[in-house]
Structures are given as C-alpha cells and as structure tokens.
Structure 1
C-alpha cells in the first residue's frame, strides 16, 4: 500500500482547541499546526533537550511554560458584509454553510508560516474574512464567484490552511467584503479512468481522504508533501506543490493532466489530455496561480497502481558533499527511485536527537565508523525509497548500493527508513512547541542546477550565520537537506531557528529570512521550489523571472480579474 502510515498523533501533552462547523469540514487549530489534543513533548527523547541547548541555547529544563493561546483574549474585527450579500450566499449553499462566527473566521485568516503563527498568537488581526462559505459542488462555487464579482467582494479560496508563504490572509487595508471560500465539502474522488490511469478528484479532498478513496480501488496519486495530512489537491495545484515521492511520480504539475476552474468568465475546462499544442499553456497558468485566476474545483490527476513492494532504506555518508554527489549519480539512473533525500550534518544531528532511544546496533555502528576515520560530527543521513515489482526494487537497490559505495557511504537497512516513514509528517508540531518556549523556527526551500548546488548550500548557510551575527543571536541554527532530485538539479530545503527571548521575533525572522532568500537568487537558485510565492516570497519575483516575466504575470492577472476580486496582492501586486 503506497499511502504512508498516518502519524498525525505524535506525543500529546495538552488539550487544544479547534473548530468544526456544521458542514463537518476538518480544520487545524486556529493557533498552530495539526488537530485537537496533539502536541510535541520530549520526555521520552533523552537527546533532544541537550541538542536544543547546544543548537540555539534554549534550556528546556524545569517546568514547561504555560500555553500562551487563549481565544477569548483575541479582539476579532466585526464582519463587514451586507445583509443582501449574506442572504444571497445562504441562498446558494444553505444557511448552515455560511459562517460568520469569530473562530471560523480567524481559522481562515492565516496559513501556518512562522509569521502567521506569531501574528495570531499576539492577536494581530488587522483584517479577517467577513464570512466563510462552504460550497457543496462546482455549480455552487461558480455561483459564489459570480456573486463576489457582482458585489465587488474579495474571494479567497481555502483548502486545508497549511500554506506557509502568505497566500491566504486578506490585505490589511482591504475595505471590501472578504469571502473565504472553503472547499472542504468537495472532497470526493469522482471517478477513475482505469485504462488511462486518470482520476477526477474534487479540489477540496485532503491528502489522506483522497488516498484512502484511491487505495480502495488499487490506485495512488503518489503525492505526499510535508503538509499531506492537512492540505488539498486544489491547494497543491494552486501552489505548484511537490511531494516526497516526486522523483518517481513527478510534482503536481506533472501529475495534473486536466483541471476545472470557476472564473469570472464562467467555468474553465481543461480536459485531461496527455499532451497538446494549443498555444501558451492555460494549464500552466493555473498551476501556481494561488487563486488569482479563479477557484479550482476539480483536478484530473495521473494515478498509478499500488506497487507490489515499497521500501525505504537508510544510508550514512561521511560528508554532505559525498551525499550530494551520490544523489546526483542516482538522479542519472535509467530507473529512478521514488525518494532521494540526504541531510547535512546539522539536520542529521537533529534527526538523531528526536529518536526515543539509541539502539545497541547504532552504538556499535558509530564505533565502527569512527574506527574507519569518520568524523561523526560531519556524518550525513540519507533515505532512498524504492517501489514497484520485487524484481524492479531489487535492481534499483543494487544500482544505488554501488553508487553509495562509490561515494564512501554505508547502508544501514530498513529500520531508520520505517521510522522516517512513520514520522515524516510530524515535524511541524515541534515548531509550535518551540514557540511556547520562546524559540522561532521556519523553512526556506529552493532548487538549482547540480553545477550550482554546493555554492547555494554553503553560501546560504554562511548568509544565515552572518544574519545571526548581525542580530547578536548566538547561537542561531540553520540546517538543510536535499529533498527532490531531477536530471538537471535538485531541491535544497533549509530550516532555521533561534531564540528571541524578550525581543520582538518578527523583525529578527525577517532579517534571517531575507538573507536566505537573497542568497538563493544571488547563487543561481529560485525563490521557492514548492512553497509558492504568496506575499512571503514576492519581493524576489522580479529577480527570479526577470522584470519582463513579472510584467507578463501582472498582465495575465489584470486581464482575467480586472476588478482584483480574486486573492489580491498574492504573487505580485
């Protein structure tokens, strides 16, 4: 079965609040990641507290700080919506599916970036949606689109709310009515064309739900982003998402063969064709459009039969350079693995520190590596995933084994891979935990050609460290892994963290974030590989795609949406 085990129930230590509207649509906590009653703790992870103390200077001894989230302390702006528009919305989707209560409006205000979480925890709510509407089918979506344009309202599509690039919040100075269009009721796999391997899926289907429906029929979409448990296929398309198995299945732009979109001009229908020559690709325009061109209602996705065998193996390399070189060689194999990932020494240390115990076998292995001359402080952990028939998996493993050996690496079996597979969706919970203790952590990811990859890595690490130095943060933390490989290059995924203490964390975050993002551009990489542009990355758009490219993009948005009714201010103003 290709669907990774759901592990959205890691260590729990306190009750949390969430909101479940009458429609039954699932939402994350208004103040953090994940679902009610789930949080991170380190009581059974003996290496975690020492690691955090060394990495960012945060002392986790003593009593945990009290939870700093209390909805009753928020001042939520009153909704601004006319009785006529409210009545019309209720006429489309039913009164029970038009919500104007404070908590659901707050849930739909932000995504889950560190900026979003810091603002929501501090009660910074300059503008929230005035109403949340839950359409039940494509016709209702189109009717709401038409109502919004006629009323000159702002319409912001909402999937799972997992976005971390500022793609969801209403503009602070927006005076028009803001409608959050929650697609959660559109959560079905409508049909599967088994001859073509194409599934038609409603845009609001979250990862676990659509995989469950596909798996029952023997299929998988093969798309597993970090946000899998709480994101939708419509959101994946709107942000040009990549998944952990994109080496084999491709990113969402490869998986998406057709799409249906509610636009100001009526329904846009792009049939699921294998390839076309019909001028500039409208499908490509929709991919990554973040709601600026309309509301995605359904996706025709390329799907695959569940594999006979699936295994993830772990490897160690003596250095990150050796790991990068091995990933490059693996990317050139005729038969590609499904996952190619290698962490630098910092992230390897973090991964080992989150383990519940150190096995006897691991202790023996590390002693063997030391006798071979390895510096364990430079050692890097890698995961490679294989799937297909047993014979195919065996051939892949043999080819990878030779490459690992060539670059001085060592295979360490299935055990770490099983743990990775079980826990890979749980890391965001640690960010909420750190916020409770006065620490901030976030991510930036990019992609570059293989020839530029090492420069991107080392110069970005240096840029982050220099930013910490300028801010007087000692120590500050930055770590990285390679997460997706292509014939011509790869994605590097950076995580950075620091303790802010009594200082305002947002200005500190902005300095570090800007240093990392500018390093990407200066070293020949892109502003984002799969987290989208939103408002977080828009300052670098012109440098990335050139001023002429940004002008084309602005012209496209203005032509399709002359009234700027659709998620204004995202990607480019």
Structure 2
C-alpha cells in the first residue's frame, strides 16, 4: 500500500503538450503519468525497512534526474513510401506517426528490464511506424496492408506488459508497425438479460469500468495494471484480477471475440458453452498478437454489488494463513478477494504506512503487544485481506462463515480500516518500483500457480532460490510473497524481489530472475500465472507444455501466419 504525490495542473498540461495525438500514454521512461510519484517522507518506517532489506540508505541516496529524451539515439525509421501510403490509406494519414517519441513509447513494455534498457538508451530496434486506427475496419485494413508489404505488426494496448511481448525482434530487417488500439475505447452495448457487454478492445480499465458503472454494471476485473492496461491486452495475455476469486480470470470473463486477421475477420459468438471442437476462443486467449489483432470482445458483466467491504486479518505465520485460504477455497463461501501476505511482505506493507497518532497509534501498539503475549513472532505475522460483495445479508453470511475458518487457523480480525487503505492504494505499487530504480535499485515481480499440496514448498523454495542468487552476486537482496488468487485445486503465489544494482544491472537481474523462474518449474509450477509469456518466460514453456505441446503451438502459428508478420518470436521462438 503506497502513497503518491499527485500531479499539479501544470504537470498535466506539460504531459498533454508532449504529444498531439489524442491517445494518452505513460511516461517513456517509467510507469504512469508525469508528475505522479511515490514519496516516503511521511512514512517513518520505510527508510529503515529499505536499509535492512536491500542495504540502501534513502537518506544518503540521491535520486537520478528525470531521463532526457533528447539524449536518446533513436534509430531512423526504415518504412518506405509505399508502406507509409498503405498505412495512411488504411487508417488515415493523420493516424500514422513516425516521430521519435511515439516510436520509443511503443518499443518496450514496463518490466524492470525494459526500463533499464530504455533509460540507458539501448534501442536496438524500434517500430518504424505507429498507427492509430479509429475503428475495426481500419484495423483490418492495416493488418492486410502489413502482410501485403511483408512488414511486421505488433498490437499495442496500454503498454503495461512486463513479459517482453511488445518489443520488436532486435535483428528484424523488415519494417515494424505498432498498431495502437487506444481509439477503440467504447462499450458498444450491454445485453442486460444475459449480462454480456460488447466492448472495443482498446479501452483502458478505468474508462471501461466508468462506462459500465454508469449503467449499473461492473466487469469485476482489476489487475495491478488496471489504470494503464486495456481489455485487449488482458485477453492477449490471459490476465487475472484482484477479484478473480469471484468474477474469474479474463479467460472466464471473455465469451466472444472479433479478431482482425490477414484476409478477414475472425468472429466468435458469445455462447455460454459449446462443443465445437478445439476451442478457437482459447487459442486467441493468451496469443499475444500472434493470431491477429483483437478489436472487440463480448465479456460477462455483473450488477454493481449493493455492498462491498474488505476486512483485514492477521495470522500468526504463513502456514496458518495459507491453510486458511485453502479451507476457504474448499468451502461453500466465495469471497471476491482472498489474499494473504507472508511475514516479509507484511513487514513491507506496515513500513509504507503513514505514522499513526493519538488513539490509532495506541491501539496498534496495544494490539501488537497483545499478540506477542499470545506467543506471536511479529516478524512472522501475516496480513490478509478478504473481500465480500453482494446484498448486505449475503455479505454478512459470507463473512461469518469465513471468520469461523480464520479463527480455526488462529487468525484475528483487525477490521475494515486496512482494507479501505488497500482498496485506495491497490494500483500504486509500480510507482514505488520507479522510486527505487531512480536510486539504483531493481525491483520486479514474478508469479506462478501451484496445487495446494505444493504451495508452501513453492513459497519456501522460491525464497531460498532468490537468496542463493543474491549471495552469488554478493548483494543484499529482498524477496517477499503473497497468495493472490485462490482456486479449488491451488493458488497463485506472487513474488516481489529487489536488490541494489551494480555495474551490469541487466546481467545481475537475469541471475535473480532466472533463479526464481527455474524454482517455479522445479517445484511444480508454471512460468507465469497472469503476466503472459512474451520473450521473458519463453525458455520455461517447454517444461510445462512438453515438446509436443510446443510443436502444436508452433504448428498453429506457422499455419495461420506463414509469413511471420504477426508479432513473431513471442511465446515461441518460431
């Protein structure tokens, strides 16, 4: 839970002046919009925590100045006149851009590796043109023109990807066209009897939810990147959200799709279920642009709940908290959120809180003293958030049933106050990552899923693997985790890691990232639960799909895109 400095009016005007195109983008060098940043001066426990965790003295560390875009050496566009004319004919001349800022913004996503490279001016290959189609017909025309001219097309939503799904292949000799879907941002219609909404794929999370809320509906999908990610991007990477326990992952939410493919539009009707051979819908989900450009989706929506409340709980240790989450998943209750942080992440969360004063400070000290008298080790204590939605009576029944499970596992309720703060700050963490990067510290995330039987072993094994990697580098590093999504058979574990970088930041990052990813595989998990594969996680895909599975994927991509024009070398190298 973080706290941000918000932009002034001048900041917003400066940001708007950077570009004339009506599609707003994040900073080219970091997360979010200019003028918004994490600060720690009102959080007295944060600097001591960071010093202990990674050895960084925030009082002595001078932040880097904002990177200078003018210092970048941006390779010239290689798009010829014929391709430019074709893009203008397809989308309109005013919708085709080749200025350096547009092209750099569309080169990378927002992983720590992406930010290290772009801040260092490492731009081996940038898109040659950025096209902003205004409707589905224009998207289809762009796709057809790209194939006709043997160029490469990379779809672009909000730019929040952290798996390398957006970057062009460094050695690509053909022109690269980034197709930005930002103008396709409307909810087209809502079938109120069926709870289905037709939505254009370029809409960002806040706009989608606002349009639905105005009619009394919600999609219920809230990934960490919600503020700056698109519906099409969620589908293309098989996204999960903070309330997937109730609403499902995007794979559950997405019922129908329209996809612009070479030669025509793929149109999947939104039926509740079907026995129609291998699922083409499932093929598009997670395809990261390799099967076409998603232009529209029909998604399940739900009435805005009459009541929504998030309660916070403490558990004495990780084992007690994870066991409680498993028992909740096995039970007949279905909360919207079941999340528990390990002791390390709980300590981090408490360090980002503002200083309590008066009765609040007294109550917190009294609570912690009480827990210590009960034999709790406060360094092992785990903070949990459980969210309830629905009619007031339903919420009360759900909470009563859950709190029996919490109590059975020695947990205690600490009310709704922390839950309110969590709800307010849930999308702010990436700003903290940028704050650390400005001070020479890498901070990133990796996530996996695993059956319940192996969950605690996964938790402990990944932490041990990361700590061994830090030791091999001679670095003081930090890793923490939370259980973020529960299923009947298992759960997602979400890890955050950080360390102060040396002279070769990307190589050092690789050592830690690869150790974590390999531990996922060795301990029975998957390389990614909801961030996609891209190029970042592709090396581990054969371990979970088998060589035959990789062959099936490569056969699919080759058959449907023989010219390798659609975002090649993502998911698989071929």
TM-score range, shorter chain: over 0.9
Matched, 1:429 2:427: no
Q: Contact 1:234 / 1:297 at 8 angstroms: preserved in 2? A: yes
SS at match of 1:65: coil
Aligned to 2:25: 27
* Structure-1 separation of matches of 2:517 and 2:15: 33
Partner deviation per Cα, 1:238-261 (whole Å, 9 max, x = no partner): 000000000000000000000000
* Structure-2 separation of matches of 1:65 and 1:460: 31
SS at match of 2:295: strand
Partner deviation per Cα, 1:171-228 (whole Å, 9 max, x = no partner): 0000101000000000000000000000000000000001000000000000000000
Matched, 1:133 2:134: no
* Structure-2 separation of matches of 1:529 and 1:38: 29
- 1:23-422 map, 5 Å: 23-62=21-60, 64-358=62-356, 359-360=360-361, 361-422=363-424
Q: Contact 1:207 / 1:229 at 8 angstroms: preserved in 2? A: yes
Q: Contact 2:2 / 2:353 at 8 angstroms: preserved in 1? A: no
SS at match of 2:479: strand
Q: Contact 1:7 / 1:422 at 8 angstroms: preserved in 2? A: no
For structure 1, which segment, 546-555 or 358-367, has the greater mean C-alpha deviation from structure 2 after superposition? Answer: 358-367
Deviation of the 1:9 alpha carbon: 5.6
SS at match of 2:427: coil
SS at match of 1:413: coil
Deviation of the 1:142 alpha carbon: 0.3
Q: Contact 2:482 / 2:495 at 8 angstroms: preserved in 1? A: yes
Deviation of the 1:528 alpha carbon: 0.6
Q: Contact 2:61 / 2:439 at 8 angstroms: preserved in 1? A: no
Q: Contact 2:5 / 2:35 at 8 angstroms: preserved in 1? A: no
Deviation of the 1:333 alpha carbon: 2.0
Aligned to 1:3: none
* Structure-2 separation of matches of 1:68 and 1:293: 38
Alpha-carbon spacing, 1:7–1:215, altered in 2? closer, same or farther (3 Å): farther
Q: Contact 2:6 / 2:35 at 8 angstroms: preserved in 1? A: no
Deviation of the 1:329 alpha carbon: 0.5
Deviation of the 1:88 alpha carbon: 1.9
SS at match of 2:37: coil
For structure 1, which segment, 291-300 or 13-22, has the greater mean C-alpha deviation from structure 2 after superposition? Answer: 13-22
Aligned to 2:550: 550
Q: Contact 1:18 / 1:28 at 8 angstroms: preserved in 2? A: no
SS at match of 1:87: helix
* Structure-2 separation of matches of 1:245 and 1:319: 24
Partner deviation per Cα, 1:513-560 (whole Å, 9 max, x = no partner): 111101111111111100000000000010111111011000000011
Deviation of the 1:11 alpha carbon: 5.4
SS at match of 2:455: helix
Deviation of the 1:12 alpha carbon: 6.2
SS at match of 2:255: strand
Q: Contact 1:520 / 1:526 at 8 angstroms: preserved in 2? A: yes
Structure 1: gaps (5+ residues): 1-5
Aligned to 1:438: 440
Deviation of the 1:23 alpha carbon: 3.7
* Structure-1 separation of matches of 2:364 and 2:240: 32
Q: Contact 1:11 / 1:41 at 8 angstroms: preserved in 2? A: no
Relative to the length of structure 1, the TM-score reads: 0.97
Pairwise CA RMSD: 1.6
Relative to the length of structure 2, the TM-score reads: 0.97
Aligned length: 566
Deviation of the 1:15 alpha carbon: 5.9
Structure 2: gaps (5+ residues): none
Q: Contact 1:23 / 1:185 at 8 angstroms: preserved in 2? A: no
Aligned to 1:561: 561
Deviation of the 1:36 alpha carbon: 1.5
For structure 1, which segment, 41-50 or 92-101, has the greater mean C-alpha deviation from structure 2 after superposition? Answer: 92-101
Deviation of the 1:85 alpha carbon: 1.4
SS at match of 2:414: strand
* Structure-1 separation of matches of 2:556 and 2:114: 28
